Chains A and B, each alone.
Chain A
């Protein structure tokens, strides 16, 4: 046992490195490893290490079976055992895109080391085959446009698209036929989501996967082809750079408020392909399996949707983008559906047979903008508080409106006033939804208001993954806010505050100075000459009057604008403000003009 105490990360990393060198694991290590494993790992990986713990059936991909000695993420050649460092790395960092979390912060360095020792005892190969050697790679060449373009060509020439699709979204011809060595369905990686790559998202990680393959999955290794002279190392690096370039640098994180940008009246993009969408900000909303109401679904296919939204003061348009490996219903995926339904627990509800099912997405809002914090239940409302929905389905391919009072309990509201356009291409759905801010039927439909946060939530289905009804993916409530034009008062108020504070400052300083002069003069017995006629003060009075008049004019403009836009309350209150400002301006102007100077103030 190296240490009993919890170690800082740096020391733990050093211990991890030292594990590279073969050192016989002590019996103590293995015993401690067994305890930790039983407490934290056996639920999924099984007490026997066979990957069949009680929770295993709720997960795809399944937890690793340690008894075979077959490991997906390694630094060693295909078919070889992993190094101790490889195993430790997965324990530390987990496997993105799967249910395996990282344990670096949770377990001490010694405990994680002990786990490595214990996990290796499940397979005799670690003893019989001896310590494996990691493959040696040259360092990564820097990324460049040329490398990425070359990588793209190489991607096509070695036919990565067979599984990963023409654009890399995991939608290749063969993607519906993929199984792992255990016979469970497995999805080809969506290369646009580096944050879900099982072996990590850096260019080096991607390159290492290409060299070592992902043992136990259909992903091959390319080391043999390099050794045989069919491709060069450089070409493989280009490929790694191309794959990395498909994903954003950083993992997208959701924002609580989706900003609906404002465009000039009539400038709202009416079509999916409109170039103006390119300028609209994109907001990522993660979706997770609906595991709240019966029947639950632990293997959702749609894990996020990108939302873009614009309005022009009279209409609002949304463009939703999400990845889906097939345009459902696709008969080529019926067999896949059978595999998924057989593999996934819990098998709740009905219709657990493969069947042609459409893709779909539902956008939901409250029927009216909530006054306080109360909202309808995010999972499609309930009996007392319905939600207002736009339901789109790939069959027939248009969107309709509805009021829902719970999962699958809804009342259709027709399609009047809701325009939609959808397209599936290379593993990606895009959907345009457009409606006037003021609805056809204000009694049952949401009226969008500018400048106010409005709750929004999503529900998506991939029909070819056997999803329908409650089996799908969900989001909780987010907000949209329609951008408003900055009102002139936003700039007026600071100006007024500046002038007011500055004026007050001048008054205070002048008073203090005059009193100081008087005190000094009195002390010296001098009688001060009378103050000159204050032409300055007169000018100041007129300037203030003119400024108030200017404000009054601006307020009158706001008022007229408010009435014209049909916002009578805005029009009314600006009219009141105009009145006060006019009175203030007249008093200042007339008062200054009529005022006669009567010599210095007597005190």
Chain B
């Protein structure tokens, strides 16, 4: 065993294999531990990171003449020694087959939808025109978040949400509405720490007021089913729904101080 663990060739091989496994599966596993939804690591990232590890390993083994010679030993042995004939022959069969298979996978015609590169949180405009009136979004707070207005606003927002928004965004604000499976991209989940919890209320106001068609190009306005709510609701009603969303989901909006803008 020690023959392998102390040998630079097998050490290098182990480092590369373990790094690949960590990059491929380990990174994707981490967010789940703290309750954030995860996604597979893109193949290009895996390739890039593994290549960096490989270069690092090669620099390390070739840094020292003796280590470099020892590193080459198993490779040389596999190439020339008569008793390694089986290893040699199987490598010469397996490697070209793998290369051929990879080539086939690359060139065969596949059926898949084109990659959608839409931005989920596009940059908001500094001001919008709401029903002919200019509203400056920067530094804007929810006018209904006042002690004497909040309760009535919550009740109004609740009523409006369940009449208008629930079919897509769901009873539990978890994008689980009965119309949600009909749309792609799927409606935004409103609870949790990763969506509106990261946004100011003015951003949410803008998104509700202008809907899908009001998205900038990078947001993919052609495929969003979010209605333009200024056609249906008044500004106060949209602020009431905004307030309700945060309170019902039990999260707080991002403030302008956090954004680094003084009021």
Complex CA distance for A287 and B184, rounded to whole angstroms = 12
- The contact size tier of chain A is 35 or more
For A55, give the chain B residue with the smallest CB separation: B162
**Given A298-B167, A493-B104: A286 and B114 interface contact (C-beta under 8 Å):** no
Complex CA distance for A384 and B222, rounded to whole angstroms = 12
B58 at the interface (CB under 8 A from A): no
B107 at the interface (CB under 8 A from A): yes
A-B contact list, 7 entries, CB within 8 Å: A39-B248, A55-B166, A375-B222, A474-B182, A476-B225, A489-B107, A494-B107
Q: Which residues from 95 to 132 on chain B have a C-beta closer than 8 Å to any C-beta of chain A?
A: 95-97, 99-104, 106-109, 111-118
Complex CA distance for A285 and B182, rounded to whole angstroms = 8
Complex CA distance for A89 and B179, rounded to whole angstroms = 22
A453 at the interface (CB under 8 A from B): yes
B187 CB, nearest partner CB in chain A, Å? 11
B254 at the interface (CB under 8 A from A): no
Contact B92 A513 (CB under 8 A): no
**Given A101-B178, A484-B109: A505 and B96 interface contact (C-beta under 8 Å):** yes
For B213, give the chain A residue with the smallest CB separation: A377
Complex CA distance for A54 and B115, rounded to whole angstroms = 41
Complex CA distance for A98 and B117, rounded to whole angstroms = 34
Complex CA distance for A480 and B248, rounded to whole angstroms = 40
A328 at the interface (CB under 8 A from B): no
B76 at the interface (CB under 8 A from A): yes
Complex CA distance for A185 and B231, rounded to whole angstroms = 30
- Show the binding face of A for B, using Cβ within 8 Å: 39-40, 43-44, 53-55, 58, 98-99, 101, 103, 106, 254, 256-257, 259, 286-289, 291-294, 298, 345-346, 373-378, 382, 385, 451, 453, 474-479, 481, 483-484, 486-487, 489-491, 493-499, 501-502, 505-506, 508-509, 512-513, 516
**Given A101-B170, A486-B109: A498 and B231 interface contact (C-beta under 8 Å):** no
Residues of A within 8 A of B226 (CB): 292
A74 CB, nearest partner CB in chain B, Å? 23
Residues of A within 8 A of B222 (CB): 374-378, 385, 477
Tally of B interface residues using CB under 8 Å: 61
**Given A373-B116, A490-B109: A43 and B158 interface contact (C-beta under 8 Å):** yes
B221 at the interface (CB under 8 A from A): yes
B194 CB, nearest partner CB in chain A, Å? 18
Complex CA distance for A486 and B159, rounded to whole angstroms = 56
Contact B97 A498 (CB under 8 A): yes
Q: Which residues from 203 to 234 on chain B have a C-beta closer than 8 Å to any C-beta of chain A?
A: 211-213, 217, 220-223, 225-227, 231-232
Residues of B within 8 A of A512 (CB): 76, 79-80
Contact B179 A293 (CB under 8 A): no
**Given A505-B96, A508-B79, A512-B79: A101 and B103 interface contact (C-beta under 8 Å):** no
B73 at the interface (CB under 8 A from A): no
Q: What 0/1 pattern do residues 174 to 191 of B give for CB contact below 8 A with A?
A: 101111011110000000
Complex CA distance for A367 and B184, rounded to whole angstroms = 21
Contact A498 B100 (CB under 8 A): yes
Complex CA distance for A288 and B179, rounded to whole angstroms = 6
Complex CA distance for A101 and B217, rounded to whole angstroms = 34
B38 CB, nearest partner CB in chain A, Å? 18
